[in-house]
């Protein structure tokens, strides 16, 4: 076990609430708690059974005054998250109470935990690997239930198991290479080893490619889709935002130019988080404030994953509409023909010629909610191939993992290229070992200390 001191931190969000929790973890967690926690005349934190909870009081060591009445949970190593002795003090929620208890714990001998240090200790003590540790933060930051399920799957070790299986296959081949190097007099052995190298490299490449393909959906579930609602003034952009949010978030009037700035809101559509950006109507204007809004709208287009281009089907295509169609032709987009409750004057043939079959067109009315379900289905189809696999949520969604998989794929390309050129197995071993090492960085088996410090520093203080 990783030997260390005893740390303490507040594990609940600061603010008013029913309960606040101060957590201690380390070799002296029980003894330190005994110094300021009273759980009865005949009981001590150090002597009670593991995984039990006790009513008690916290006392200020300096003044001897009562700080709060608490419930104290005692968990002894190794059956804890950190695999260290752990004490959790449940007190009344509120900034003052939890802060005072933390101060007393520090005065009694604990050290203030660094961000993510509890999870880091769980990793260093072998309780979880690095990908599982990152999943802890993903669960906390999940924007939808599906994103939470994805992170939970990773926390359970499904991704880790896949990576470990790939590394084990590589390890067998690396062992065969070592034997060939040790006994160079056997020409047949090198030939058989080269054949095994190619087979292993191609098989692992196939599995990595499958993970990367799934990662596109996993990344969407984890980070969401940045979606810009664009169109010229008064076509129904703000109304669309309000309908999707099911609340009047944006001001809607018949006056063109009402929306002067971008408005960002987050919602979930069929399990996929979307960040909706309602933009100012894009048009030529002399109004300085509106000009700034138009500029920000154009910037929103550049940084969006999806464009919802709203057209007014009760009017003919304008030059501004055509400019927006041209401006967004390289982006993933859905065209919404809004105001279908009014008489149609839009030339559909002209629009179809302009689109050339590259974008889906949906007829909508914000007054009657027509087309909203079709829009949701179109988004799902565009980004998730029409469905989300409920049975296998082992998607790679972490940007660090995706980059390491891509680098491992490149290293395996080098392996196959060298094998085809007849390069000696001792040189091929270098690239295969690099691929093996890159995959090990996903689970933390070969991750440098600098990386670990950087990753865990991104965690909240009490986790």
For 263-278, the pLDDT digits (tens) are: 788 888 877 888 888 7
pLDDT tens profile 53-94: 999 999 999 899 999 999 999 999 999 999 999 999 999 988
How many Å apart are CA 416 and CA 63, to the nearest integer? 72
The whole-number pLDDT of residue 404 equals 94
Hey, which CATH number is domain 136-220+396-456, 3.30.420.40, 3.20.10.10, 1.20.120.430, 3.40.50.1370? Answer: 1.20.120.430
Residue 251's pLDDT band (cuts 50, 70, 90):
very low
Range from 130-139, 141-150, 176-185, 254-263 carrying the lowest mean pLDDT: 254-263
pLDDT over 70, % of the chain? 87
Name the average pLDDT for the chain. Answer: 83
What CATH number was assigned to the domain covering residues 7-127? 3.30.1360.120
250, pLDDT greater than 50: no
Burial class (CB in 10 A: 0-12, 13-18, 19+), 156: middle
Higher pLDDT, 440 or 219: 440
Range from 234-248, 254-268, 302-316, 375-389 carrying the lowest mean pLDDT: 254-268
Residue 261's pLDDT band (cuts 50, 70, 90):
very low
pLDDT tens profile 180-225: 776 665 555 566 678 888 999 999 999 999 888 777 777 777 778 8
Domains 7-127 and 136-220+396-456 share a fold: no
262, pLDDT greater than 70: no
Long-range contacts from 134-143, C-beta under 8 angstroms, 24+ separation? 134/398, 134/400, 134/455, 136/459, 136/463, 137/458, 137/459, 137/463, 138/222, 138/397, 138/398, 140/460, 140/463, 142/222, 143/223, 143/224, 143/266, 143/268, 143/273
Domain range list for the chain: 7-127, 136-220+396-456, 223-384
The whole-number pLDDT of residue 27 equals 96
Strand order of the β-sheet with 306-312 is 263-269, 272-278, 225-230, 306-312, 333-338, 360-363
What CATH number was assigned to the domain covering residues 223-384? 3.40.50.300
The whole-number pLDDT of residue 146 equals 73
The whole-number pLDDT of residue 252 equals 41
> Contact 219/402 with Cβ under 8 angstroms?
yes
């Amino acid at each position: 076990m990783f030997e260390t001191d005893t740390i303490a931190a507040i594990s609940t969000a600061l603010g008013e609430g029913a309960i606040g929790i101060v957590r201690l973890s380390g070799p002296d967690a029980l003894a330190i708690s005994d110094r300021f926690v009273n759980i009865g005349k005949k009981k001590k934190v150090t002597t009670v059974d593991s995984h039990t909870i006790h009513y008690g009081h916290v006392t200020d060591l300096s003044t001897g005054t009562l700080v709060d009445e608490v419930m104290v949970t005692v968990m002894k190593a190794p059956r804890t998250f950190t695999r260290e002795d752990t004490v959790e003090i449940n007190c009344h929620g509120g900034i003052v109470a939890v802060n005072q208890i933390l101060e007393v714990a520090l005065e009694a001998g604990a050290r203030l935990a660094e961000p993510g240090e509890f999870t880091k200790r769980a990793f260093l003590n072998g309780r979880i690997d690095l990908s599982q540790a990152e999943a802890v933060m993903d669960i906390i930051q999940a924007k939808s239930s599906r994103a939470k399920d994805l992170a939970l799957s990773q926390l359970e070790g499904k991704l880790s198991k896949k990576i470990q299986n790939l590394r084990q296959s590589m390890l067998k081949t690396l062992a065969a290479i070592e034997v060939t190097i040790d006994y160079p007099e056997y020409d047949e052995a090198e030939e058989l080893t080269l054949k095994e190298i190619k087979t292993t490299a191609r098989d692992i490449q196939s599995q990595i490619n499958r993970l990367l393909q799934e990662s596109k959906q996993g990344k969407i579930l984890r980070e969401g889709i940045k979606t810009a609602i664009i169109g010229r003034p008064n076509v129904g952009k703000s109304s669309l935002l309000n309908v999707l949010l099911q609340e009047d978030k944006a001001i809607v009037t018949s006056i063109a130019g009402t929306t002067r700035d971008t408005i960002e809101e987050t919602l979930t559509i069929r399990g996929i988080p979307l960040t909706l950006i309602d933009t100012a109507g894009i048009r030529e204007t002399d109004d300085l404030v509106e000009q700034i809004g138009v500029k920000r709208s154009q910037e929103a287009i550049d940084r969006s994953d999806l464009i919802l281009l709203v057209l007014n089907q009760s009017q003919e295509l304008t030059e501004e509409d055509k400019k927006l169609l041209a401006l967004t032709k390289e982006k993933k987009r859905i065209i919404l023909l809004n105001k279908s409750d009014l008489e149609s004057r839009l030339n559909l043939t002209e629009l179809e010629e302009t689109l050339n079959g590259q974008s889906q067109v949906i007829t909508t009315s914000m007054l009657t909610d027509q087309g909203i379900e079709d829009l949701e289905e179109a988004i799902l189809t565009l980004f998730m191939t029409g469905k989300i696999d409920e049975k296998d949520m082992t998607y790679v969604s972490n940007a660090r993992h995706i980059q390491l998989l891509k680098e491992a794929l490149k290293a395996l390309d080098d392996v196959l290229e060298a094998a085809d050129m007849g390069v000696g197995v001792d040189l091929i071993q270098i690239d295969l070992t690099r691929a093996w090492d890159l995959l090990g960085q996903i689970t933390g088996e070969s991750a440098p200390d600098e990386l670990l410090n950087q990753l865990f520093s991104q965690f909240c203080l009490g986790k």
